[in-house]
Amino acid sequence: MNEPAIALRALTRRFGSLVAVDRVDLSIGAGAIFGLRGTNGAGKTTVMKMLATLLAPTSGTALVAGYDILHQPVDVRRHIGYVSQMLSADGELSGRENLLVPAKLYRIPRSERARRMREALHFMDLEGVADRLVRHYSGGMVRRLEIAQAMLHRPPVLFLDEPTVGLDPAARHGVWQRIRQLRDENGTTILMTTHDMDEAETLCEELAFMHLGTLVAQGTPAGLKARQGSGATLDDVFIALTGASIREREDFRNVARVRKTFSRIE
Amino acid sequence: MSPVSARPSAVSSRIARTADALAQAGAVAEADLRKLRHDPWEPVMRMVQPALWLLIFGQVLARTRGIPTGGVSYVAFLAPGILAQRVLFVAIFYGVSLIWERDLGIVNKYLVSPAPRAALVLGRALASGVRGISQAAVVYVLAAWLGVPVRWTVGAVAGVVLMVMLGAAVFSTFSLIVACIVKTRERFMGIGQVLTMPLFFASDAIYPVALMPGWLQGVAACNPLTYQVDALRSLVVGNVPGSSGLALDFGIQVAALALLTGVATRLYPRIVD
């Protein structure tokens, strides 16, 4: 069997007395588009931050692209791209400058730099606005730019935290199309979190549901629906798995951050 | 591979890693400085404060003739102090940009890159240093206009540039540490206000250390700003009675920067917790 691109082993993170992620085991095959769904505060973002080496696990570990997040964090960083939930491209810089900074940070050789930046702008359909300040971009353009930033060094693994939150349908489809194309052309393994049923259904080949820090179900969208009964939607599955015991774990800071992302899009 | 041949390759890989880290620090600084280019009004706005200190405070206090300035006019004595003050004030609030960028998710991008944390910290110090130089230019022009006999030798100007960059790096890295500890803009601004005035008054920026009460002289001796002012005064106008000497002045900045960078490197990833 092929080595999984991402393998979580009893990955756990506590914040004080709160167990945000509780002994999660999960394997994600190379080249998959894998979706993580769950209630707010279920631990999706925490999982992703640990895999991206932004947050240290309390216990357990994970392998990303074959490297251990605890013992080989720099190797992990070399082999991943990460796009956070927030619209994080730098609004005070142009699109091109937003690519130049990571190109230098990842030490892409000077001879390659211009070509890769040009290709990325072309791929994301941002050539016409490359020299405009990003604060004048639409939400969809910012997201495409951010994915381009995260892919500039051609990582085999890409983490996307709610990549289409707050985007209009056309912009959403634009982002989906690019994500699919990235995987098809480069074999990139993509792990994404999502709240959106459409996104989970049309984009993700496999899904895992998280609830209160644990993994409660895993499978293909079709398989998960079939388990719930005929005519069931993924939202039905979601509610069946989590609805009965929804506890609000979202804190003020979290809500404020999501709202801020929205206000930057609009 | 035999140990004999392994040795030079270990050395060369260390050199390559250091070169990478320096280039990465340069990329962090470049990102910050490119923003400055998109917003050219910022340095212009920052001309107002030093102008007020030199034109109003300096001119009025010069008339009292109560401050022993070692044979130069009070405005000549004050100009290097105000230069150091401007560098301090700009650098000490630099950490707020880290909190701001953390809130926007930009810091995450740097932290998921393979750049060593020390390179991220030094890159910001470098950017702060370059910002400091624009302040130096303003103070030089104002001082020359007010008739201060500014030394224009290459050595003196290069020394000023170096000290301004080091001074800005020291206080911006200190500011970064504060930002990593307090984590919110409101708390940071409160602490920034509380820190700047004591640092400023417990230095020889606007009066010689010799005029201070004993306890304050002790504080001033531990304040990097005192040594920045001392060096700048020697370099800009020369002739400073009781100078601690340029070697000590620069040595203290380098030591402070090394110490602060070490601490900031450890704390930096905590900003996103």
Nearest CA of chain B to the CA of A230: how many Å?
42
Cβ contacts of A21 within 8 Å, gap of 6 or more:
A11, A12, A13, A43, A46, A47, A50, A57, A213
Q: Is the pLDDT of residue B97 over 80?
A: yes
Residue B17 lies in a domain: no
The beta-carbon neighbor of B31 closest among A87, A90, A260 is: A90
- Dihedral sign for Cα atoms in the order B68, B74, B80, B82: positive
The beta-carbon neighbor of B104 closest among A77, A88, A133 is: A88
Range of the domain at B254: 23-272
AA identity, residue B13: S
Residue B3 lies in a domain: no
Closest CA to A147 of A202, A98, A198: A98
**Tens digit of pLDDT for each residue in B218-254?**
999 999 999 999 999 999 988 677 788 999 999 999 9
Query: In this complex, do B114 and A88 lie within 8 Å of one another by their Cβ atoms?
Result: no
Q: Is A77 at the interface with chain B, CB within 8 A? A: yes
Q: Is the pLDDT of residue B39 over 90?
A: no
> Is the ipTM above a cut-off of 0.95?
no
Residue B32 lies in a domain: yes
Residue B10 lies in a domain: no
**Tens digit of pLDDT for each residue in B143-181?**
999 889 899 899 999 999 999 999 999 999 999 999 999
CB B220 within 8 A of CB B226: yes
Q: What pLDDT sits at residue A76?
A: 97
Residue B229 lies in a domain: yes
Nearest CA of chain A to the CA of B36: how many Å?
9
Residue B7 lies in a domain: no
CB B224 within 8 A of CB B232: no
Angle made by CA atoms A218, A220, A226, in degrees to the nearest 5: 95
AA identity, residue B60: V
Q: Is A93 at the interface with chain B, CB within 8 A? A: yes
Task: Let me know how long chain A is.
Answer: 266
The domain tally of chain B equals: 1
Angle made by CA atoms B6, B12, B14, in degrees to the nearest 5: 100
Give the largest CA-CA distance in chain B: 76
The beta-carbon neighbor of A101 closest among B31, B38, B108 is: B31
Cβ contacts of A43 within 8 Å, gap of 6 or more:
A13, A20, A21, A22, A24, A210, A212, A213, A214
**Tens digit of pLDDT for each residue in B57-91?**
988 888 888 788 878 889 999 999 999 999 999 89
Cβ contacts of A123 within 8 Å, gap of 6 or more:
A148, A178, A181
Query: In this complex, do B105 and A88 lie within 8 Å of one another by their Cβ atoms?
Result: yes
Measured between its terminal Cα atoms, the distance across chain A in Å is 46
Q: Is A260 at the interface with chain B, CB within 8 A? A: yes
| Burial of B3: CB neighbours in 10 Å, binned 0-12, 13-18, 19+ | exposed
Q: What is the DSSP string of B201-212?
A: HTTTSSS-GGGS
Residue B85 lies in a domain: yes
Residue B4 lies in a domain: no
The beta-carbon neighbor of A80 closest among B38, B108, B112 is: B112
Nearest CA of chain A to the CA of B269: how many Å?
7
